Structures are given as C-alpha cells and as structure tokens.
Amino acid sequence: MDGILALGHFCESHGPCVILCTQRCETPPEQQGPHTLTVPWCDSCQSVDLDQALLSKDDRSCYISTRTPLQQDLAFLLKQATVRSLSCEEETSGEGSPLYFGDHERGHVLAHTFLVQDSLARGFHRKYTILMLMRDKIHLLNAWPMLVKHIKEIVKDLKQAAAEVNGVEQEHRSQRAVRQSQGSPGSTGRSLSQLTGKPAVFAHLHLWFSWMLSCPLAEEKPAIPPSIVISKPSSHLREVFLDVGEIVFTKLIYCVMSGINVVTTEFHVLNTIKSLLPDYWKANTNGYCILTKYDNWEMDWNESLPVKLPTFILSVIKAIKDKRLPDAVMEMHITSLLMQWKSIVLSLTWPPVLNLEFLQSLNIQKADLPLLLYWLDCTCEDQNKCPIIKEQLSRLLLANK
C-alpha cells in the first residue's frame, strides 16, 4: 500500500506537529541531510531522534519510521494534513470516528483524532491524531475499512494505557486540587511513552504502521482490465431529439437507460436511443411503455419521471441541446460519458463492502440509482454477488438524504 502513516499531536509550545511517520520503500534509503523544513523538538514532541530511524523488512519492501518523511515535499504535505486534522477538520458525531479530507494538490487524508489523558496538561488531556496520507483518493477509500479497523485498535490501546497511568497519578496526588491551590505547573511537556507508561510505544507503532502498509488490497484492481465500450452512440441522436421533442425524448431515454421495456414500431428511434447503452442489453423489468406516432409523438407510460434524473441522462441531454457542439464532437463527448459511467458501475463490484464515502468519491447520487441497478444487472459477472451489491447500494443511497 503506497502512502504515509503518521502520528501527530497538538504541542502546547509548537502547535500541531508530526512526531512519527512510517513509509514504504523498495530499498533502505541512504543517509541524507535534514530538511530545510523546521522540525520542533521538546519533551512532548519526542519520539525518535532526527538522525535515527526504525526499519523493518519483508520479502518485497522495507518500512522506515522517522520523525518526518524522507522527502521534503511529503514532509510539507504531511505537516499541512496534521494541522488540518488537529485544528480545522472536525468530526461532529461525537463518536471519535475517522474523517476524510484532501484534494489532488495536497493529497488525500484519512485522519482519526483522539484525546489521551494527562494530569499535567491543560484540560487534563492531550490531543493526538493518526492519519494516512495518499496521492490516490480511490486507493485510500478502498482501503478505508481495513485502515479504520486497525487505527481504532491502536487508539483504544493508547487511550487505555494512558488512562491507567493517569489513574495511578491521580491517586498519588490529585492535580486538580493542586492547580486550584497553586496554579498550573511550570513544566508540563511529556512524551507519549511517558503518558502511556510504555518506553517502547514508538517501536510498537512502527511495527503496527509497517504491517498496515504491507497489507495488499487485492480487491482494488481486477486481474483482467474490463472492456469499457463496445458500441458508440448513434450519429442521429440530435435528429431524433428534435423530431420527437424534449419531453418524449426524456421519458424514452429514461426508460431505456433504466431497463424498462419500450414497445414501438418506430425501431429507428428506439435503436438510436439504445445506442447510448454501453452494450446491447435487454430490458430486465416487468414494466413497459408504448411509443407511438400519429400526428405527434406520444409516450404512454403508467409511471412518471423522477424529480431529478440520473446524472448520465442529464449530461447527454445537455450535450445534445448545446448548439456549439458539432455532431462529431457531441458523439465523442457522449462516448466519454459512456466510458465513465460503465467504469463507475464496474468499480462498484471491486470493494468487499460498499460505503458512502466510496460512493461520494465516484460522485454517485440518489438519482442515479435506477440506472446503476439496471447496469449492474447487465455487467456483474458474479450473479451471487450482484444482489448483495445492489442491496448495499440501495441502502446507502436511500438513507443519504
């Protein structure tokens, strides 16, 4: 897994800072000079010395833990992510759940912020964060379930150890009573190893971070690259749109894209709309609609269009109505939309479990559900897995108001 796992904290002297980070490399790095980036140092920021590193190896790679990343550009990005995690971004559920933030320029981050008890600190606790920084957003969100599970275990272990040390200290001498009579102590900085009573806590974190980075995510990439598009959209789309009118065209494209049977003798119109499907799929629902033409085009359908149409349909109609797009350019644009949405449907079959963050990363909305359910039926090769994916997809989208 490519990325940087790091531990940061909010220092009362230096503010948010990184105190340990682990990254993977193919070979052990050569000794190099320090960054020009300033690295704070005090008792509470202590982990490993700036000129030291913790190193582990396996058959494929080595994993190195240092105070800051080996590359200066990554050190700057990780510093920014730590500041945002500890000072700006906030999880509001009150359950201490991980959160995601980031962009393509500053990297994508999964962060879990937590409090560790400290009888000498302001408010009797210190603020820490464990975060994963990656360049690839999809890679990060695919790894979300595994990362969250083990980060929560690490946090639970650290908090429990710190609570035990704090309990012993309070029994020996209550700092709350001392502060009420004497004020705050002069020196309050203590490292995580002192707070947890574990001198080797950073070695343990190095091993845990290294193991997480070594975990392969076989589900992320299929062994055989999937085919994306077999057919291309008809060159008569704009002609059909102008002929049948926007209202009939919208109903017709919605029925075809969501798998509803269309009964008509106007096969040239139906085949033109069907060219928008990635492959030559058959309708798979019991519902049907009737398209007829007498003096005007009419669509007989017992249902009505949803308030908001699927994103793919809206994009196609927008392209057809854009008079600035020549027919040839419009066809290429719609082909790219077909490739995008079939790729999205295929990616839904890769993760072991779907989650809302993964759907949001693909820009999937509730209105896209009818199209996605039909396209999943037609593309999912594992017929046992398909109903599970559809159930998870429906539950997540319908629950997200």
Spell out the residues 6+ positions from residue 50 whose beta carbon is closer than 8 angstroms to its own. Answer: 34, 39, 41, 67, 68
- Tell me: pLDDT of 132 over 80: yes
Give the pLDDT band (50/70/90) at residue 139: confident
Q: What is the pLDDT of residues 26-46, one digit of tens each?
A: 877 765 555 555 676 787 888
The chain-wide mean pLDDT, for the chain, equals 84
In 197-352, where does DSSP find H-type helix? 201-214, 237-244, 246-257, 267-274, 311-321, 327-347
Q: What is the pLDDT of residues 224-242, one digit of tens each?
A: 555 554 567 778 899 999 9
Q: Give the burial class of 171: count Cβ atoms within 10 A of its Cβ; 0-12 exposed, 13-18 middle, 19 or more buried.
A: exposed
pTM summary value: 0.54
| Burial annotation 261-277 (CB, 10 A radius, 16+ → b, else e) | ebeeebeebbebbbbbb
- Tell me: pLDDT of 255 over 90: yes
